[in-house]
Amino acid sequence: MANFYEDNADLRFYVEKGIDWGPLYEHTQMLGDVYESLDEAKETWADTLNLIGEFSANEIAPYAAELDTQHNVLKDGDVVFGDRITTIFDQLKDLGVHGLCMPEQLGGMNAPLITYFLSAELMARGDVSVMTHHGFHGGMALAMLMFSVDEGTTTVDLENKQLVSTRFEAEAMDIVSGEAWGCMDITEPDAGSDMAALRAVGELDEDGNWTVSGTKMFITSGNGRYHFVIARTEPETQGDPETGLKGLSFFLVETYNLDEDGNKNWLATLDKVEDKLGHHASPTVMLTFEKTPAKLIGERGDGFRLMLLLMNNARIGVGFESLGLIENAIDLSKQYAAERPSMGKTIDKHEMIADYIDEMEVDACAIRAMGVRAAYYEELAQRLKLQAQFLAEDGSEEEARLLKESNKLKWKARKVTPLLKYYSSEKAVEYGQRCVQIHGGVGYTTEYGAEKLLRDAMVLPIYEGTSQIQSLMAMKDNLLWIMGNSKTFAKQLAEAGFKSRFDRDGLTRDVYKIKLLAMRAQVHLMRWILSEKLGNKPVSAWGSALGDFDPKVDFSPAMLHAEHLAKLLTDAAIASELFRQAKKWPERRELCVAFVERALPRSRYQLDLIKTTGHRILAQLHGEEAAAAPDREVA
Ligand SMILES: Cc1cc2nc3c(=O)[nH]c(=O)nc-3n(C[C@H](O)[C@H](O)[C@H](O)COP(=O)(O)OP(=O)(O)OC[C@H]3O[C@@H](n4cnc5c(N)ncnc54)[C@H](O)[C@@H]3O)c2cc1C
């Protein structure tokens, strides 16, 4: 019987030895001795992934075309799902997987979050829209628990390893049981990437009750019952994006409740289900709240921070979703190429096609390496923060130690997550298109499913923060870090320079060459941005020269080249991770060599682009700016 877990040796490598399960196991045990030992826990989690792999291969993948053609429709104010997705979610409810990572007392299996991400890949390989809708179940229940812990409304009895109470218990249990699901409502008709422009409002009445009003659009699974809504509660100072973000608060809003007969009483209006290019089994909804009762989460003005907590996990989720789609593209491409004869042999034996398929396979492993890293850092950071909150005394040394460790991991997760989201989603589109190309003419028809993959892939670089926004985040984080840590950066630069030239091992030299190229790009951009401020000062002296630096005004060249830099940073991050694996597990060296072989020349190209292009566009933009604002001095 087909099984997407069993047939994927690279994924199994992580479950069997690549992931250090020990710390995650210890943390999950904090809320109940669900497992007798680490070995038993690992076996259970592997069995669950095996089950999901089998389910996806046999109950989702064979119905991908059906899922694609059965569109969801708006009827009598509610969304009517297609028959196939209804069947699949009835089956998933029976399997009980919505509570995979929830504590046992909330109906879950107490598994680490990383098992959810791996299961997301398995489901997405069957069909991405099924995976997406699934993600708005357990992921949202877990978010309810996370937010309640964050605001201090969850209590635990550590001695007996019990969750005593949590604010959104009823809502979370409703989701875990498969009766309901959640949604994430950020985007509005006039505010997507620019969250400071959000206009939905949260209002407090005289009795101390909150309501939200406003229209949200493009809400995935937006016909769900429980919505995390970000809305403005504090006025903004005209045109100042900082106050725009600080004035946002975060709410849990129910769009309907049920009467005694189980009928829905709507508290918000579903306006529209989008007619999209792909992702057809996943409803994308526009809806309007009008003084809909809401529960404030955390403090007023905390909305942007809380929304980012949710989005970090969601972005890692898109990484694994993209990976599942790429695995699907590889499956279809290999099957077709092995059967289709051309010029005396099957096309998989032609050099170019063999190279195409090899590149896709290497990249799938590369993305998984980065995804597992991001997921692991993020999860451990969150769990250490929990430990600090529940286990350590307020103000104790132990609390400080746990928080310091958590922040370190959080920073590592923050560095790799935008790169994962960027690279995996862009590759999903590229390889969706490549899959069509490998199929030739039939790829352009609906018969083989290749064009569906391309259509499904195209939203991946758009939602959960576009590729451009991910690149800008990565660029800003990296350059600002260099400014604050110029001496450490100078040391890293020297080490990379030395190892890339003098190490005795060729692979080590190549990995460090890629890192060096990424660093040189950053040095070049810093010099370009700050040439006037820095003059000819050495890198190690930059920190003290940057007192009056304003990233919003001064980053223009780096904003222009943010995507090129993101590509370099991604190649450096993946090469480093695969190299780390190769040193620990010699059987991984071959993969590292295969990745580096392509990453090194393309990194040289990206650096060349950064060094030689962009001046003309910047001059044009500055010219336009000068015309619009004549009193502003233009460099
Ligand atoms: C199928 C689907 C499902 C979705 N699900 C959800 C959901 O569940 N919840 C939710 O809240 N939203 C959801 N969205 C919305 C999605 O997150 C937004 O579409 C996305 O953030 C982009 O916003 P926008 O469409 O307003 O584009 P814009 O922000 O207008 O951007 C348009 C283009 O300009 C670029 N751009 C914008 N600013 C900059 C800049 N400073 N520098 C360089 N380039 C820039 C963008 O990258 C993009 O290429 C979904 C969208 C789709 C299509």
pLDDT digits (tens, 9 = 90+) for 335-371: 999 999 999 999 999 999 999 999 999 999 999 999 9
Strands (DSSP E) along 123-247, which ranges? Answer: 154-157, 162-166, 182-185, 201-204, 210-220, 226-232
Strand partners, 230: 250
Q: Alpha-carbon distance 240 to 546, whole Å?
A: 23
Ligand 1 centroid to Cα of residue 395, in Å, is 41
pLDDT at 238: 63
Say yes or no to pLDDT of 632 above 70. no
**What domains, with CATH codes, occur in the chain?**
1-163+172-178 (1.10.540.10), 181-301 (2.40.110.20), 308-465 (1.20.140.10), 467-628 (no CATH)
**Span 241-266, average pLDDT:** 91
Alpha carbon nearest to ligand 1 atom 9, residue = 219
Alpha carbon nearest to ligand 1 atom 29, residue = 193
Say yes or no to pLDDT of 627 above 50. no
Provide the greatest CA pair distance for the chain: 81
pLDDT at 32: 77
Q: Alpha-carbon distance 78 to 80, whole Å?
A: 6
Say yes or no to pLDDT of 628 above 50. no
**Span 273-287, average pLDDT:** 97
178: left (phi over 0), alpha (psi -120 to 50) or beta: left
Mutate to test the pocket of ligand 1, among 140, 187, 216 (most ligand atoms within 8 A of CB): 187
Q: Alpha-carbon distance 618 to 615, whole Å?
A: 5
**What is the distance, to the nearest Å, from the Cα of residue 257 to the centroid of all Cα atoms in its chain?**
31
* pLDDT one-digit tens code per residue, 500-552: 999 999 999 999 999 999 999 999 999 898 876 666 677 777 766 666 667 77
Task: Give the nearest ligand 1 atom to 191 CA.
Answer: 26
CB 284 less than 6 A from any atom of ligand 1: yes
- Most confident of the following: 280-284, 531-535, 555-559: 280-284
Of 320, 365, 323, 369, give the one whose Cα is nearest residue 577.
369
Contact 96, 141 (CB under 8 A): no
Mutate to test the pocket of ligand 1, among 462, 471, 617 (most ligand atoms within 8 A of CB): 462
Sole residue written with tokens 């699934």: 134
Of 3, 601, 4, 571, give the one whose Cα is nearest residue 324.
4
DSSP string, 324-388: HHHHHHHHHHHHHHHH-EETTEEGGGSHHHHHHHHHHHHHHHHHHHHHHHHHHHHHHHHHHHHHH
pLDDT at 633: 40
Mutate to test the pocket of ligand 1, among 131, 132, 190, 193 (most ligand atoms within 8 A of CB): 193
**What is the distance, to the nearest Å, from the Cα of residue 159 to the centroid of all Cα atoms in its chain?**
35
Alpha carbon nearest to ligand 1 atom 17, residue = 463
pLDDT at 235: 85
pLDDT at 237: 66
Q: Rounded to two decimals, what is the model's pTM?
A: 0.95
Ligand 1 centroid to Cα of residue 464, in Å, is 8
Say yes or no to pLDDT of 439 above 50. yes
* pLDDT one-digit tens code per residue, 578-594: 999 999 999 999 999 99
Task: Give the nearest ligand 1 atom to 274 CA.
Answer: 1
Residue of 535 and 28 predicted with greater confidence = 28
Say yes or no to pLDDT of 275 above 90. yes
CA angle 169-174-176, nearest 5°?
A: 90
* pLDDT one-digit tens code per residue, 66-117: 999 999 999 999 999 999 999 999 999 999 999 999 998 899 999 999 999 9
**Span 244-255, average pLDDT:** 94
Least confident of 227-241, 344-358, 589-603: 227-241
Ligand 1 centroid to Cα of residue 487, in Å, is 37
